Structure 1
Amino acid sequence: MDKVARAYLDHLAVERGLAANTLASYRRDLRRYVQFLVALGRVEPTDVVEADVTAFLRSLREGDDAYPALSASSAARTVVAVRGLHRFLCREGITDVDPAGAVRPPTPPRRLPKAIPLAQVEQLLAAASTGEGPRVLRDRALLELLYGCGARISEAVGLDRDDVDLESGTVTLRGKGGKTRIVPIGSYAQEAVEAYTVRGRPALLASGRGTPALFLNARGGRLSRQSAWTVLRTAAERADLGETVSPHTLRHSFATHLLDGGADVRVVQELLGHASVTTTQVYTLVTVEHLREVYAAAHPRARDSSG
């Protein structure tokens, strides 16, 4: 089982082009699955039956001596990896039957994305501008870009200098699965990126050996996702926003504010790089909730006035 799991991961990396972080998650999930099967005495792919996969799903939710219980969303992700493995084995002719085909992952509760109001976005961006020097210029440009085009943090730190066209006001982002999209950025983000590339990036670049990366660390190398998250967290603390801000907060706020402003959901889908509009539609639930709150507060017959 361990051998075929490695072959499947190689397939995902080479032929499907999955991102390194996604591959790491699949690797962890399949390692746990293989260990579970070996403990049952299932050492060959043809030994596995549907009851084994079902028992594995149950163990994910209940936990055991080696692993803690997983939430519905984490268990669902693991089952997706297992189902993908067995589909791969069938396609390759290694097995004739897919024991995971009828096993459905648990349905996680729908969680609405957390966005922050525009005023708090502006507080955050102002906090990132505190002080002087190349790293301050970088931090402001990073956060302006995250909010200005709805990029994921991994997409932002993966940018090269040539991916940003300040003349046309566009940026080329490389999303999940290696998919590329070109999105516009606003004037605030353009100005912040230009200030950083002219006055900040050259100073940081001088400390390294040369790199095409747009956002650089203090040693002149590409800024990591962890460091970018630290930039965001530091700015949030300075702005007294605390734990309300996470790595995806600016992306969520970007989408929510666009929809609040009347943008079509399919346009927002393209900007976010979602493969399905269903993923984007969760943001419409946020805006509907906002409308409901405004209605309840403003309409004279929306609430009980007897008290």
Structure 2
Amino acid sequence: MDPYVNNSLKMFVEYLQIEKNYSQYTIEHYQYDINEFFMFMSEQAIGKIDDVNYSDVRIYLTKLYERQFARKSVARKISSLRSFYKFLVREKMVKENPFALASIPKLEKKLPEFFYEEELEKLFNACETETILGQRNKALLELLYATGMRVSECCQIRLKDLDMYLSTVLVHGKGNKQRYIPFGSYAHDAIAFYIENGRNSLLTKEAPNDYLFLNARGKPLTPRGIRYILNKHIDQSSLNGKIHPHMLRHTFATHLLANGADMRTVQELLGHAFLSSTQVYTHVTNDYLRKSYLAHHPRA
């Protein structure tokens, strides 16, 4: 394939890093989707990025559906390639964007899953605070529920980001956007206890660091590690089913709205760029209120 093709991807990655300030995780997704399309170009004997037309795009989409990709995955690939070619048009590296006319498949709108208060209590009670890892896990669960931060954001929290006097944490969100989130007394007490006890025991002289949450080897917890911890707690509690890390974030937003918080405040706390991202929780809240009504009203 023409070396110019790979060079165009390198330039696009630099654009995402410098101008768009995207996270490395997001950039890797773009690279994966674009490289996958480059493989398709090789299969179709398309040597230059400027040779791709709308007919080629339709063939590519057909192949994706034949491989039974989920609609969400197809939508992401189209979006990645559309952005890539939009950049190439801007840089005058191609004349037109062949993905401009490609329609993104409609996604199924699923309501976010969340915990009811009694379920959450069972999850917290499953923490064994007598052990070092139990102290860490209790602090982790309390902070995730108290702030609604993303798991990726939680992994990046350092001791200097915590203000224990004001009970606030500085969160580094998507696109390096920062926001302060308050947390309550339960999270405060669990974090303070963990820092004074469990965390000191997890630290190693060989690899000292100032990350808040550490694994058993003294290294920073990863999103995969947090997922493992949450699933382990589900197994230890009396709850059924599986948990995904975002459930605590969904629960945070749902409980705030159900108890009267305004949507703009919840949007700020969640770090959503658009209010439409937060509005999905109003549907969850309506369902939450209905179930509470049916469970507690004498003549429901």
Instruction: Please classify the TM superposition score into its range, dividing by the shorter chain length.
Output: over 0.9
- Deviation, 1:253, is 0.4
1:182 match: secondary structure: strand
Equivalent-residue separation in structure 1 for 2:294 and 2:125 (angstroms): 32
Corresponding position: 1:6 with 2:10: yes
Task: Please tell me the residue identity of whatever aligns with 1:199.
Answer: N
In structure 1, what is the equivalent of residue 113 of structure 2?
114
Corresponding position: 1:25 with 2:29: yes
CA spacing shift, 1:235–1:145, aligned 2, 3 Å: same
In structure 1, what is the equivalent of residue 225 of structure 2?
227
**Equivalences for 1:78-93 in 2 at 5 Å?**
78-93=77-92
In structure 1, what is the equivalent of residue 208 of structure 2?
210
Equivalent-residue separation in structure 1 for 2:224 and 2:102 (angstroms): 36
CA spacing shift, 1:45–1:150, aligned 2, 3 Å: same
Task: Please tell me the residue identity of whatever aligns with 1:6.
Answer: K
**Equivalences for 1:1-307 in 2 at 5 Å?**
1-63=5-67, 69-128=68-127, 130=128, 132-206=130-204, 208-294=206-292, 298=297
How much is the aligned-residue C-alpha RMSD, in angstroms? 1.8
| CA deviation profile, 1:179-230 (whole Å, cap 9, x unmatched) | 1111111111111111111112111113542111111122222112211111
- Deviation, 1:299, is 8.2
8 A Cα contact 2:231 2:242, kept in partner: no
Task: Name segments (4+ residues, structure 1) moved above 3 Å.
Answer: 291-300
1:271 match: secondary structure: helix
CA spacing shift, 1:168–1:53, aligned 2, 3 Å: same
2:268 match: secondary structure: helix
Larger deviation, residues 291-300 vs 158-167: 291-300
Larger deviation, residues 108-117 vs 2-11: 2-11
CA spacing shift, 1:219–1:227, aligned 2, 3 Å: same
- Deviation, 1:241, is 2.2
1:181 match: secondary structure: strand
Equivalent-residue separation in structure 1 for 2:113 and 2:145 (angstroms): 14
8 A Cα contact 1:208 1:221, kept in partner: no
Larger deviation, residues 200-209 vs 261-270: 200-209
Equivalent-residue separation in structure 1 for 2:110 and 2:206 (angstroms): 42
Equivalent-residue separation in structure 2 for 1:275 and 1:131 (angstroms): 37
- Deviation, 1:277, is 0.7
8 A Cα contact 1:208 1:219, kept in partner: no
**Structure 1, unaligned runs of 5 or more:** 64-68, 303-307
Percent of residue pairs identical: 36
Equivalent-residue separation in structure 1 for 2:289 and 2:117 (angstroms): 16
- Deviation, 1:78, is 1.0
- Deviation, 1:294, is 4.6
- Deviation, 1:243, is 2.7
Equivalent-residue separation in structure 2 for 1:181 and 1:294 (angstroms): 33
Equivalent-residue separation in structure 2 for 1:203 and 1:296 (angstroms): 48
- Deviation, 1:271, is 0.6
In structure 2, what is the equivalent of residue 66 of structure 1?
none
Task: Please tell me the residue identity of whatever aligns with 1:162.
Answer: K
**Structure 2, unaligned runs of 5 or more:** none
TM-score where L is the length of structure 2: 0.92
